[in-house]
Structures are given as C-alpha cells and as structure tokens.
Chains A and B, each alone.
Chain A
Amino acid sequence: MSLILFIEQALNGLQLGVMLFLMAAGLTLIFGVMGLINLAHGSLYMVGAFAAAAVAAATGSFLLALAASMAAAAIAGVIVETTVIRRLYDRDHLDQVLATFALILIFSEGTRWVFGSLPLYLDRPAWLGGTVALPFGINYSVYRLALIGAGFAIAGGLFWMIAKTRIGIRIRAGENDREMIGALGVNISQLYTLVFALGAALAGLAGALIGAIQSVQVGMGEPVLILAFVVIVIGGIGSIKGALVGAILVGLTDTLGRAMLPQFFGLFMEASAATSVGSSLASMAIYLLMAAVLLFRPKGLFGAA
C-alpha cells in the first residue's frame, strides 16, 4: 500500500472516529451520570437524521437542517427522559435494557408511521461538495474533511463545558456522588434531564451529519449504536476522554483493517481466498481490539478503577 493511500485511509478512519465520538459521548455521559444503559440512543440518532432530511427538503438549508436535528433529538430525549427513563434510574440494568429496547421499537415504527418505509433524501450542501487537494497529492472529499473539523470542534467544546462551566462541574459531581450533590441543593432531576437532552442532541447531530452521506432510513441507528457501545467499553464507561480516544481507535482500526487486511493476506494467499479471509477478519478487528484492551485494562483505557 502506498503512503498516499495510507494517509487517505487514516483520514477516513479519523472521520469515522470523530462521528462515533458524537454518539459515544452522549452514551457514556448518560451512563456515567445516571448509571443508565440507553439502547434507544441509536433511535435519537435516527430522529436527528429524519428531522434534518425533512427540514432540508422543506427549506433547502443544510444549516437549518442541522439545527433541526439537534432540536428534534433533544426534544425527543426530554420527552423520553421525563416519561419513561426517569422511572428506570433505580431499577437494575436488565429493566433498563428491556425498556429502552422497547423504545427502539416504538421509535422505529413511529418514524415509519410518519415518514413511510422508503429511505429519505438528504444531501451534503453544495458548498461542501467536491474534493480538495491536500499535500502529497491526495484528493480528499471536502465534506469528510468538514466532518473531521466539526467533530473535533464539538469535542473541544464538550471538554471545555465539562471542565470550566458550572453545569460541567455539576455533571462531574453527579458522576462522582449522586446523593451528595442532591443533598447540596442541586436539582438532580433537572440535571438528569439536561444531560439526557445534551446526549440526545449530540446523537441527533451525528445522525444528520452522517445521514448526508449515507442512507436516512428506519433502523439506521442500531449498527452505530453497537459501535458506540464498543467505543465506550474500550474507552472506559463514563469517561468523555475515553470516548474520544476509543472512538478514534475504533475508527482507525475499522477503516485501516478493511483497507489493509485483505492486501496483507494477499501476500501469501491466493487472491479470492485472501479477499474473503481478510474481509472476515476486518469485520472482527474492532472486537479483537476491544478484547485486547479489556485483557490488559478490564475497566477500559480511562475507566475509573
């Protein structure tokens, strides 16, 4: 594999990684602060993508569509949190998983009821179309480059918010000792709703950004949800920093694995056998990574010991 191709693939991996971070950040915050396993997080991603597609179709503005995706996902998140999730905090994880799995089904069929079962159209804006020439003669998609930039900007904003703002302090306090911050007079149920809405908005935004270059359809959230779970397990459950590192590791491993493993096996195997062995191993690569990380760091890379 040439160096140029390798750099291009690394960029692709990075792009996948930062988008996974948007999903994983919400998931890990919600788990860290409320101790809740939210399987319906993928549904919020889908809600964001559908809201963006609907608004883009009506107004033609991509930025409005992005705003709509965050708003719709956050509103859906608040509704779900106050009506269903709030009752689950004290229950064990099996109850949470069952209830949020039911939410997946409700969201999926509800979305089909509103939008029909055919995939929707959502495209990147024209001003982010085409390719840009990078050093070393790489032609790279402008939109993917913008996704990388947006992902890191949002990650930076999130770190700043958690480290420097009052809400961030409360979130960190909530992670450390839930009962104590309640005793100190912080309105805990308001905080929970806020964290849930924040996580939902990030997922919705990811859905809209990714939906522009993928298929906006019912059930689009579940494959991403599985990857996001892998990310937070690798990064350490509850850690935002872990989510970022884990997301980029997973993105790079997945992309480079898909690109390089079939070629690697091609060095000493017959072509078609190498393709099938390489492809099969590539689809396992992130799970092997997860297993390897858990072997040495059972709590994940940045998990609280």
Chain B
Amino acid sequence: MKNMKLKSMMLAASIAALSTGVFSTSAWAEGIKVGMITTTSGGGAGLGIDVRDGFQLAVKLSGRTDIEVIVEDDQQKPDVAVQLADKMIQSEKVDILTGIIWSNLAMAVVPGVVAQDKIYLSPNAGPSALAGKGCNKNYFNVAWQNDNLHEAAGAYATKAGFKKSFILAPNYPAGTDALTGYKRFYKGELAGELYTKLGQTDYAAEIAQIRASGADSVFFFLPGGMGISFLKQYADSGVGLPVVGPAFSFDQGILQAVGAAALGVKNTSQWSKDLDNEANKTFVKAFQEAYGRLPSLYASQGYDTANLMISAMAKADVKDAEAFRAALKAADFKSTRGKFSFGPNNHPIQDIYVREVVKEGEVFTNKLVGVALENHGDAYSAECKM
C-alpha cells in the first residue's frame, strides 16, 4: 500500500509538472523580459503573491511599457523551480530571473542560472551559501541575508536586558541559521535551545519546556502556519514571557490569523509600513489602492526589486551585461527602506528596525519602535571572492 501510494504520488506530481502552462512566446525586441518564479499555490502562496504584486506595482508605477514579466508558480518544489528556470532561459529567453521565496529552492535554481550568465535578483531568500563562498557577480540579493533579522533580534534582546532566552526554530537549514544569527548578537545566556520538526503544528511540549526552564524571554523563528500555531498556543498557555522574533511570523498577512495573541510582541524587520520616507509612503498608498489590503514586507521586497531593476535600465542596456551589473550594484533607486546599498557580496547593507504588534482599528499591524542594527551587512561577505 505504501509503495503504491508513493508511486501514485510521483505520477500525480509529474502530471502536474507537465501541465503548468506557458503564457506567451512572442519575440521581444527592445526592453527587458523578466522571468518570475514564485510560489502562488499551496500553503506558502501568500508570500509569493505579495512579492509578485509588489513587483508588478513598481513596474506599473514606472510607466514603462518595455518591461514584460512572466510569472510562473513553483509550487514550493525545488524540482519544479529548476524546470521553470530552464524553460524561461531556453525557450522564453528572459534577461533577468527573480521571485524565489524559499532558500531551498534558491539553492536549487540560482547557481545554475548565474552560471549561464543570467542575472538573478532575489526578492526574499538569502541563504548563507550564496552570500559567502558561493557568491556570484550575477546574483543580487535585494532582501537580506537569511541571518540578518535574527541577528537584529539578538541585538535587540541584549539591548532590552534579557539575560536568559529560550530559543527555538525548525530543524532545517534556515532554522539553524536563525538560531546561529540570534546567538551571534545575543550576549546573555540561554535557558534552552530547541529544534522542532519542520511543519509542526502542535507546540504543547515545547511550551511546557519553556515554562519549566526559568527563561526570561523567548526567541522563535517559525515561518508561516507554524508561527501562527505557536503564538496562539503560547498565548493560551499563560506563560506570558516577552517574545522576540523576526518579522516573518508577524507579517501583515499572518497577523490577522494570529489575532490578539501577537499583541505587544517585538519583531525585527528591515521594513515597516510606517517608515518615514517618500518612497515608502508612495508604495504603501499605491499598494492599498491597487490591491485593497495593507502591504507586507514581502510586497516591499518585490517592489524594491523591481525598482532596482528599473533604475539599472535607465543607466545601461541589459544586453551589455557588464554595464548592467555595474548599474545594479550602484543601487541608485529610492528604496522603501530609506538607506540601501550593496556590500561587496551583492547583499544589502541596511538598517534593521524593531517593530511592535499593535491594533489599529480592527486591523492588527506593526509600528516602529526603534532601530536594532544600523548599516548592517552580513557575516559572510569576507568569504566572498568575486
């Protein structure tokens, strides 16, 4: 039965893979053709949809008609993402690829893409392997290196005077990166350190351990539904210790599902909807008008990614790879985050802020309360030899 089940799963998966449609294959003379591989179905679709919407909004606002964006769904599967990348490069002849949300998909796709001398702009995933030894002149990360927000959480915890943190994350590469990042900037001692199963939904056992550990604060990195489950159960348990986390579990899309359980939690983010700069105000307003919802940090990353690309188009032709890369590296665009520049490994140098979850009217959202790290780069740039 087990074997049969496996076989039929594989059959079903390959049918699904074959049937993913291609849109247009029309010849494209001028301008730029962007291939966006992102997650628009399944449990992680909210992130991909926000990146896509943010990106397309920036393209629309630029008024340029010479940008064609082809969006394809990777279903959060590395093998599907690799096939899509091949198709986009070979038959669609795209100039630039972007869109991937998940680090494991980025690791499967990006090395192959940049080796074919195509430019890849990452709107979300920033695995350490691509920031250090695996860095590449064709790979630009417009979001963050994966450790960044966790490092900022550690810095905030130290500043807030926490002495005994209990830390937990799922047992997968981004989870270990998260705890490593936190520990890099957290100066107190640890009351406990836990790795949970990826996709786990019941955290009763972990919460009981937190209660028994004598901790004075909790740091967690549990993206998506895992974070929603944890926060609801944590609030229900009455443990009540202060919670710190990266923005991923306190994102605009997720907060409404968590509800009051998240109120007052401090989280670290490179972006917030109330950041006071012109580009951000324009973005937040336009996004709400276009889509009827508040933007998330993923949407801001998609928006910034598109604006970076548009700024480079004004300076160089994408067919002149050398000049186009130099134009990208200059990062001469108005970021929604305010200050933004690239480090030697093409990863951002930026401020990372502390936000607090609040309720505005009927909507749960974040407000800025401080800066955790200023002009923060990443720990891997020294290993990068470009």
Contacts and interface: CB of A to CB of B under 8 A. Distances in A.
B19 to A, nearest CB: 11
Nearest to A37: B1
A210 B12 CA distance: 29
B236 A215 contact: no
A93 B4 contact: yes
Contacts of A130: 236, 238
A41 interface: no
B197 interface: yes
A279 interface: yes
A124 B236 contact: yes
A144 B232 CA distance: 12
Interface string A239-277: 000000000000000011011001000000001100110
Contacts of A214: 201-202, 225, 228-229, 232-233
Interface in B185-241: 193-197, 199, 201-202, 204-206, 208-209, 211-212, 224-226, 228-229, 232-233, 236-238
A219 B42 contact: yes
A118 B237 contact: no
A249 B18 CA distance: 41
A8 B208 contact: yes
A299 to B, nearest CB: 13
Interface in B315-362: none
Given A213-B236, A279-B171, A121 B256 contact: yes
Among A119, A120, A212, max chain B CB count under 10 A is at A119
Nearest to B171: A279
Interface stretch (A60-68, A98-106, A173-181, A194-202): A98-106
Interface stretch (B43-51, B280-288, B365-373): B43-51
B8 A275 contact: no
Nearest to A224: B201
B41 interface: yes
B116 to A, nearest CB: 32
Interface string B11-44: 1100010000000000000000000000011110
A193 interface: no
Given A112-B41, A223-B199, A117 B46 contact: yes
A139 B238 contact: yes
Contacts of B242: none
Interface in B235-268: 236-238, 253-254, 256-261
Given A258-B196, A258-B205, A271-B193, A93 B229 contact: no
Contacts of B226: 215
A112 B205 contact: no
A219 B43 contact: yes
A19 B261 CA distance: 23
Interface stretch (A9-17, A78-86, A149-157): A9-17
Contacts of B237: 131, 141
Contacts, number: 150
Contacts of A8: 208
Interface residues of A, number: 60
Contacts of B206: 258
A143 B236 contact: yes
A108 interface: yes
A75 to B, nearest CB: 24
Nearest to A143: B236
Contacts of A131: 237-238
Among B1, B233, B260, max chain A CB count under 10 A is at B1
Contacts of B64: none
B353 to A, nearest CB: 24
Interface in A107-146: 108-109, 112, 117-121, 123-124, 129-131, 139, 141, 143-144
B9 interface: yes
Contacts of B228: 119, 214-215, 217
Nearest to B40: A117
A302 to B, nearest CB: 18
Contacts of A262: 194
Given A8-B208, A217-B43, A279 B197 contact: yes
Interface string A1-23: 01011001100110110000000
A305 interface: no
A223 B45 contact: no
Contact of B171 (A117, A141, A276): A276
Contacts of B60: none
Contacts of B211: 139
B7 interface: yes
Contacts of B257: 118-121, 215-217
A275 B225 contact: no
A54 B163 CA distance: 42
A101 B8 contact: yes
A15 B207 CA distance: 14
Given A217-B225, A220-B225, A9 B208 contact: yes
Contacts of A259: 205, 208-209
A94 interface: yes
Nearest to B1: A93
Contacts of A4: 212
Contacts of B195: 275-276, 279
Given A5-B212, A255-B205, A258-B205, A218 B7 contact: no
20 contacts: A5-B212, A8-B208, A94-B7, A101-B8, A117-B41, A117-B46, A118-B257, A119-B46, A119-B228, A120-B257, A121-B257, A130-B236, A139-B238, A213-B229, A255-B205, A259-B209, A262-B194, A272-B193, A276-B195, A279-B197
Interface of B: 1, 4-5, 7-9, 11-12, 16, 40-43, 45-46, 49, 171, 193-197, 199, 201-202, 204-206, 208-209, 211-212, 224-226, 228-229, 232-233, 236-238, 253-254, 256-261
Given A5-B209, A219-B42, 6 more contacts: A101-B12, A119-B225, A214-B228, A258-B205, A279-B196, A283-B197
- Going nearest first, the 10 A-B pairs with the smallest beta carbon separation are A215-B225, A12-B204, A215-B228, A119-B257, A117-B45, A219-B43, A279-B195, A214-B229, A283-B197, A131-B238
